[in-house]
Amino acid sequence: RKEVEQDPGPFNVPEGATVAFNCTYSNSASQSFFWYRQDCRKEPKLLMSVYSSGNEDGRFTAQLNRASQYISLLIRDSKLSDSATYLCVVNPSPTNTNAGKSTFGDGTTLTVKP
């Protein structure tokens, strides 16, 4: 089983739709969480951090459920420009063996169509 798992999709949605992605992680001691966006053949870019209380940035909302060990990303009013692969990232509580290690999911691909 992978440490971080995402539904690969693809998710094909019309403009204006609301879409949600989930990401599960196996290490209960994980400390911090992020969502990144990666366009085709480009580098990943930070979309938002995920806080325990949940957080919102415009049309994007991130949630963390520590008890069930998953994080989610909700995109409202989808735009064509939201088409990309969305990667969740989980950082462990630092110890000597995993210092610096950020674990990425394999990504969920979103295509927003006119």
Partner 1 sequence: ETGVTQSPTHLIKTRGQQVTLRCSSQSGHNTVSWYQQALGQGPQFIFQYYREEENGRGNFPPRFSGLQFPNYSSELNVNALELDDSALYLCASSLGGSNNSPLHFGNGTRLTVT
**Residues in Cβ contact with 96 at an 8 Å cutoff, skipping those fewer than 6 apart:** none
**C-beta closer to partner 1: residue 41 or 58:** 41
Residue 66 found at the interface with partner 1 (CB under 8 A): no
Q: Which of 10, 18, 20, 46 binds partner 1 (CB under 8 A)?
A: 46
DSSP labels, 32-93: EEEEEEE-TTS-EEEEEEE-TT-EEETTEEEEEETTTTEEEEEE-S--GGG-EEEEEEEEEP
Pair 6, 23: CB distance under 8 Å: yes
**C-beta closer to partner 1: residue 15 or 39:** 39
Task: Sketch the per residue contact string, 3 through 42, with partner 1: x for CB under 8 A, - otherwise.
Answer: -x--------------------------xx-x-------x
Residues 78-107 binding partner 1 (CB under 8 A) are 87, 89, 91-94, 97-107
